[in-house]
């Protein structure tokens, strides 16, 4: 495919109005995140090769697919005249400003433009990490609505689009049905999954979350729904890493036990761990579940140089995983995949990772070498990963062995081979003490 050709199968959605959601200079979830991605994709000529999908605000009824009215109203009230000022003047909803140890000094921050505005024009009503300003409610609605616009384009029988990327913020995967947290106000991916189920009648929707943090909100929302397979791969550190949930023993409840799955990794990790988890667990699970649509909670905060994740995943790995998800559709099923931006706080890393994912969406199997590859320090110079990966962490192998062993004993339709333990990993009997398991 030449660099000038257009692949109308690929959708891309972005709206600059989401940049109006802003807190203090020291906060990592800032407008320049999506701007850096959008600019990079434009500079690399990728936006000329895809179908641009118009964003829009989600309606209240669409938000109600996941969130109760009381939660939606609580978020939206801060967009009303006078409410934010009242909170800033000492109202009960103000919990004080985010206080970083230093001002923003991230490399690549030169594109971050600070708009002049009154000091303390934002508050933290949902805990110490999640801010709102007067423009935040509408930005959050647009973030959710952009994802809905993308899935509508993909599901439109008259459109050739069957995959795409949503460059959105604020992110969503930490938001539960009734609680905003972890920089998230509404759960964009969960709303999209419910729309696919209720509006389009899909019976099997999969959510793959590779953000460095556990997708606790999405897991909670679908904990009792066997029609939505949720798989979260994340840093865990024995429950000490934010948000502290997502152990492998958490598998859902009721009829959904075995369809709400977690792959926790202790300590930093890289390409070896993500690829091993895909090979031994994610891809077999998708093959067994046979989803009609895959939504990806596409966080890039496990990428090299991320200040929060502190992991070593390369941008090329994210591109490779995207190709593997596209190839996972079998038996002639349409390869419907939507990547939805979640976390990622180093501007260079997230821009490079988004570029790799977009190139993967554009590819038909062979690597696209029409443009030279710019690498992030510490990442692979080869898009095809011709250099063999090393061994994954022993703790991850043990976790997947325990998880697959327990799943094999469940009365579900999921058929995932048990991951064997090599000799170098101690042979322990798994304790299947998951919620909903006897």
Residue 351 pLDDT > 60: yes
Asked whether residue 348 is domain-assigned, the answer is yes
Cα–Cα nearest to 251, from 67, 393, 408, 427:
408
Residue 81 pLDDT > 80: no
Give the residue, 23 or 94, on which the prediction is more confident: 23
Give the residue, 365 or 74, on which the prediction is more confident: 74
Asked whether residue 419 is domain-assigned, the answer is no
Asked whether residue 128 is domain-assigned, the answer is no
Residue 378 pLDDT > 60: no
Per-residue model confidence (pLDDT) at position 197: 98
Per-residue model confidence (pLDDT) at position 166: 99
pLDDT tens-digit profile of 129-187? 999 999 999 999 999 999 999 999 999 999 999 999 999 999 999 999 999 999 999 99
Mean pLDDT of 4-18: 85
Per-residue model confidence (pLDDT) at position 121: 85
For residue 298, give its domain range: 10-78+135-394
What pairs with residue 207 in β-bridges?
A: 230, 295
Asked whether residue 110 is domain-assigned, the answer is no
Per-residue model confidence (pLDDT) at position 343: 98
Domain count of the fold of the chain: 1
The answer to whether the CB of 235 falls within 8 A of the CB of 258 is no
Cα–Cα nearest to 182, from 146, 219, 148, 208:
219
User: Cα(282)–Cα(250) distance, rounded to whole angstroms?
Assistant: 16
User: Cα(282)–Cα(297) distance, rounded to whole angstroms?
Assistant: 14
Asked whether residue 421 is domain-assigned, the answer is no
Mean pLDDT of 9-17: 97
Q: DSSP E strands: which ranges in 292-386?
A: 293-298, 337-341
Residues contacting residue 156 through CB under 8 Å, at least 6 positions apart: none
Residues assigned a catalytic role: 174
pLDDT tens-digit profile of 176-214? 999 999 999 999 999 999 999 999 999 999 999 999 999
Structure tokens at 158: 């008259």
pLDDT tens-digit profile of 278-299? 999 999 999 999 999 999 999 9
Residue 368 pLDDT > 60: no
Give the residue, 4 or 130, on which the prediction is more confident: 130
369-to-286, 339, 373, 384 alpha-carbon distances in Å = 29, 22, 8, 10
Per-residue model confidence (pLDDT) at position 332: 78
Residue 428 pLDDT > 70: no
Lowest mean pLDDT among 249-253, 402-406, 425-429: 425-429
Helix axes 32-43, 347-362, angle to 10 degrees: 50
pLDDT tens-digit profile of 381-416? 454 444 467 889 999 999 999 999 999 988 777 889
Residues contacting residue 355 through CB under 8 Å, at least 6 positions apart: 40, 41, 44, 46, 315, 374
Asked whether residue 118 is domain-assigned, the answer is no
Per-residue model confidence (pLDDT) at position 433: 60
Q: For the whole model, what pTM was predicted?
A: 0.89
Q: What is the phi/psi pair of residue 400, to 5°?
A: -70, -35
pLDDT tens-digit profile of 22-67? 987 789 999 999 999 999 999 999 999 999 999 999 999 999 999 9
Most confident of 76-85, 141-150, 355-364: 141-150
Mean pLDDT of 8-12: 92
pLDDT tens-digit profile of 111-132? 333 333 445 688 999 999 999 9
Asked whether residue 304 is domain-assigned, the answer is yes
Asked whether residue 159 is domain-assigned, the answer is yes
Q: How far apart are the first and last CA of the chain?
A: 53
* CATH number, position 27: 3.40.800.20
Percent of the chain with pLDDT over 70: 82
Q: What is the phi/psi pair of residue 191, to 5°?
A: -60, -45
pLDDT tens-digit profile of 99-110? 333 333 333 343
């Amino acid at each position: 495919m030449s660099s000038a050709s257009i692949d109308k199968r690929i959708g891309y959605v972005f709206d600059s109005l989401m940049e109006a959601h802003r807190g203090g200079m020291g906060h990592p979830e800032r407008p320049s995140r999506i701007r850096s991605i959008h600019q990079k994709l434009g500079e690399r000529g990728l936006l000329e090769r895809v179908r641009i999908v118009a964003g829009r605000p989600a309606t209240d009824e669409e938000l109600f697919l996941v969130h109760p009215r009381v939660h939606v109203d609580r978020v939206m009230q801060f967009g009303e005249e006078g409410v934010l000022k009242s909170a800033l003047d000492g109202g009960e909803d103000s919990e004080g400003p985010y206080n970083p140890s230093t001002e923003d000094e991230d490399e690549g921050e030169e594109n971050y433009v600070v708009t002049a505005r009154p000091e303390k024009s934002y508050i933290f009503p949902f805990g110490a990490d999640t801010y709102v300003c007067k423009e935040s409610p509408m930005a959050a609605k647009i973030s959710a609505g952009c994802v809905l616009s993308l899935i509508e384009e993909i599901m439109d029988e008259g459109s050739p689009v069957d995959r795409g990327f949503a460059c959105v913020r604020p992110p969503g995967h930490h938001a539960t049905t009734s609680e905003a947290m972890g920089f998230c106000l509404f759960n964009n991916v969960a709303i999209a999954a419910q729309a696919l189920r209720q509006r389009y009648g899909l019976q099997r929707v999969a959510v793959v979350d590779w953000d460095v943090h556990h997708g606790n909100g999405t897991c909670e929302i679908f904990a009792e729904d066997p029609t939505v397979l949720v798989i979260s791969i994340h840093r865990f550190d024995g429950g000490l890493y934010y948000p502290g949930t997502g152990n492998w023993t958490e598998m859902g409840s009721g009829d959904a036990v075995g369809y709400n799955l977690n792959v926790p990794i202790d300590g930093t990790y890289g390409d070896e761990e993500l690829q091993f988890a895909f090979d031994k667990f994610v891809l077999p699970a998708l093959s067994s579940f046979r989803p009609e649509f895959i939504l990806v909670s596409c966080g890039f905060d496990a990428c090299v140089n991320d200040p929060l994740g502190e992991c070593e995943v390369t941008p090329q790995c994210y591109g490779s995983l995207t190709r593997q998800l596209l190839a996972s559709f079998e038996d002639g099923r349409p390869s419907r995949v939507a990547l939805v931006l979640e976390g990622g706080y180093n501007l260079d890393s997230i821009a490079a990772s988004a570029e790799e994912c977009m190139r993967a969406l554009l590819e038909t199997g062979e690597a696209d070498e029409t443009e030279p590859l710019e690498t992030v320090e510490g990442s692979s110079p080869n898009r095809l990963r011709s250099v063999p990966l090393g061994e994954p962490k022993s703790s991850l192998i043990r976790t997947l062995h325990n998880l697959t062993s327990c799943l094999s004993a469940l009365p579900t339709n999921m058929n995932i081979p048990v991951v064997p333990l090599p000799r170098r990993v101690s042979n322990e009997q798994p304790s299947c003490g998951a919620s909903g398991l006897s």
